[in-house]
Amino acid sequence: MAVMNHKFKQHTQKSKLKWVRLSILISFLIAVLIFFFKYQNNKEQQLVVQRFFGGDRFQTIAVHGQSRSFLLHIPILSIAHHPKPLLILLHGTGSNAEDLEEMLHINDLADKERFIVAYPNGIDSSWNAGNCCGSAHAHQVDDVKFIRLIIEQIKKEYRIIPNRIYAAGLSNGGMMAYRLACELSDQMAAVASVAGAMDVDVCRPTQQVSIIAIHGMADETVLYQGGISKKDSEKNYDQPVSRAVHFWVRRNGCLPISNKEQRLNVIRESYKNEHTGVEVLLYSILGKGHEWPGLTQGTHFSELKDKSQQLSASQEVLDFFKTHPKKE
């Protein structure tokens, strides 16, 4: 009987504890809603809700007197005061922030790792990545300034881990990611270029930046070996993938001999600086064209075993970023 009474008391105490926790949670949610409805400005309301519950929200920012926009994604059910890494994702020519978000479906992966994700919009769907592309390049738009201001604005509204700021892009967006590594090396811990070339004449980073590049060797839009694509109406000369790899290997003080491995049609080459942990990583994909690999059937490089499988660029990029903070 004494044992039964003891178990009953334990059960009662656990039940009370559950109700106390539930009451605290309900009170917290009510407080948030009251706080929310005190605001009259819609932007302030959106910011309060997004800070607590996550989700997407468009923001604008002035750059040299011109209004620029970006889509901001906050992890679902994230804790507002916990610092988070920041990922900036850059679309290709002819695309935009919403298209890229819908195409990649990377937010689910980002939510698991608690990344805040910003999707900027280029001018006329293009980025001034140095020697390319479109209206942004023709008018010498200051896209580097735009990205720096995005980072500054997000830092004001959310707690960002200062040594975990990253950029990744597809095609022209990948080219822009390289330019950010060159000109915002004080901010960028690592960048990823997917199907992009490093099309800048001068690159003088002040700090080391880890690099991951993913490129199809049969790409006919941004040629793997470099050159002018028959599909490019602007007739821009794109630098070979090897140029970017060799530059960053030297600049980051990595050993010039790579750790090379091949699985199915994917060749992985890794160059590391053993002292600082900075890395340059290249995935070359035989037979692949101008694309972000593995959108539907993607998997880790280490798990590639069957010909039906594809490398998941999204997973490889996020895994790379997770393990490459900026050295302080």
Residue 117: closest CA among 98, 136, 130, 133:
98
Is the same domain home to 92 and 24? no
What pLDDT does 8 receive? 43
Give average pLDDT by consecutive 10-residue segment, the chain, 328 residues: 46 59 67 53 53 74 96 80 93 96 92 95 97 95 98 95 98 98 98 98 97 98 94 87 98 95 97 97 97 87 82 96 93
28 and 144, same domain (yes or no): no
> Which residues does residue 114 pair with via DSSP β-bridges, in sequence order?
none
- DSSP alpha helices (H): ranges in the chain? 2-37, 42-53, 97-104, 107-112, 134-138, 143-157, 172-183, 241-251, 313-322
Number of domains in the chain: 2
Reply yes or no: is the peptide bond before residue 133 cis, omega within 30 of 0. yes
Q: Would residue 45 count as lying in a domain? A: no
Same domain, residue pair 18 and 71: no
Answer yes or no: do 288 and 165 share one domain.
yes
Do 210 and 190 touch, CB atoms closer than 8 A? yes
pLDDT of res. 7: 45
CA distance 61 to 69: 6
* Cβ 284 vs Cβ 195: under 8 Å: no
Burial of 246 (0-12, 13-18, 19+ CB in 10 A): middle
Q: What is the pTM of this model?
A: 0.84
Q: Which residues contact 2 (CB under 8 A, 6 or more apart)?
A: none
Do 61 and 112 lie in a common domain? yes
User: Within this chain, do residues 34 and 159 fall inside the same structural domain, yes or no?
Assistant: no
Is 57 in the same domain as 184? yes
Residues 208 and 313 in one domain: yes
Residue 319 CA to residue 38 CA, distance in Å, equals 41
pLDDT for 293 equals 96
- Cβ atoms of residues 63 and 149 within 8 Å: yes
pLDDT value at position 38? 53
Q: Report residue 310: phi and psi, to 5°.
A: -130, 150
- Find tokens 């002018």 and name the residue: 228
**One domain for residues 194 and 58:** yes
Q: Same structural domain for residues 27 and 125?
A: no
Largest CA distance in the chain: 89
Tell me, rounded to whole angstroms, the distance of Cα 101 from its chain centroid.
Answer: 11
Structural domain boundaries, residue 125:
53-322
